[in-house]
Amino acid sequence: MKFTYIRIFSSLLLVMLLSGCLAPESELAKNQSPNEQQLEQVQHAVETYQEETQGLLPIKTKPDDTPIFQKYLIDFTALKDSNALSEIPGTAYENGGVYQYTLITPEENPRVKLIDLQMTEAIRSVNVQLDIYRNENIYPPFGEEIAEDIYTIDYQKLGFESPPSVESPYSNENLPIVMDVEGKLHVDYRIDLKNALNEYQHDYKEGDDIRNILAENTPFVPAYSIPYTIKDGDPVFSSLDN
C-alpha cells in the first residue's frame, strides 16, 4: 500500500512539473519584473546592430500616425538574425513576458525602454465594451469634460461597476482611462507626472511636452498618453497632436 501511494505521488509530481505548476519562482518572476541587466543587453544589441548596418535600427515598421511611444518597437528577429542578440529576454512579450521593448529618441540617441502590456490589456478590455456601445449609439459615452476635448468615461453605460483605470508602472497608483472627443482611449498620467516633476530636475516651461520626464528617468514609456505640458508647476493636458 505504501509503495502504491509513493507511485501515485510521484506521478502527480511529474505531471505538475511538466505543466509548470512547480516552476521556480525565479522562472515565473523573470517574465513579470523589469530586469536592468536584460535592458542593458538589449541596449548593447541595438547599438551593435546599428554599427553593423551603417545606422539602421532594428525596429518594426509602423504607420506614421502611430503614437510616439509605441512607434519604435524593437524587432527581436532582426537582432537575432544578425547575431547581435543570442536570446530574447524573458520579460519580452515575444518570449512570454509582459513588456514590449521600444526605443526613445531613435534619431539622436536610441535608448531601450519598456511598454507595460498590462496597460495594453486594460485599454483593450475597455475598447471591447466601447465598440459594442458605439455600434448602438451615435456618440461615445462621454462623462465629465476634464480638459478641452478630454472626458471621463460614463462607465455605467459600458456596464462597468467603477471608472476604468490601469495600474501605473511608475507608482502602482490607479491611473484613470480617459477619452478624447473622437472616442479614443488614453491613460491619464497626471499623478505620475506630478511626482516626477517634484522628484527629478528639469527645465520644462509652459508649452513643452513633459512626458519625456517619465521615459528619461525610468525604464518605462508613458504609452497611450496624451501630450502634457506644465502650468504653474503642475502637469496639464496639451495638444492631441502626438
Question: Are 28 and 128 in a shared domain?
Answer: no
> At 22, is the pLDDT very low, low, confident or very high (cuts 50, 70, 90)?
very low
**Closest of 155, 158, 154, 150 to residue 190, by C-alpha:** 150
Do 217 and 141 contact (CB within 8 A), yes or no?
no
Q: What is the pLDDT of residues 99-109, one digit of tens each?
A: 999 999 999 89
Residue 5 lies in a domain: no
Question: Are 196 and 91 in a shared domain?
Answer: no
Model pTM greater than 0.85? no
Q: What is the pLDDT of residues 43-98, one digit of tens each?
A: 999 999 999 999 999 999 999 999 999 999 999 999 999 999 999 999 999 999 99
Question: Are 76 and 147 in a shared domain?
Answer: no
* Cell 477619452 belongs to residue: 179
Question: Are 87 and 156 in a shared domain?
Answer: no
In whole angstroms, give the CA distance from residue 220 to residue 169. Answer: 7
Residue 12 lies in a domain: no
Q: Which domain holds residue 45?
A: 23-109
Question: Are 73 and 168 in a shared domain?
Answer: no
Question: Are 128 and 233 in a shared domain?
Answer: yes
Question: Are 83 and 128 in a shared domain?
Answer: no
**How far is residue 119 from each of residues 66, 86, 124, 212, measured CA to CA in Å?**
17, 28, 9, 18
Residue 98 lies in a domain: yes
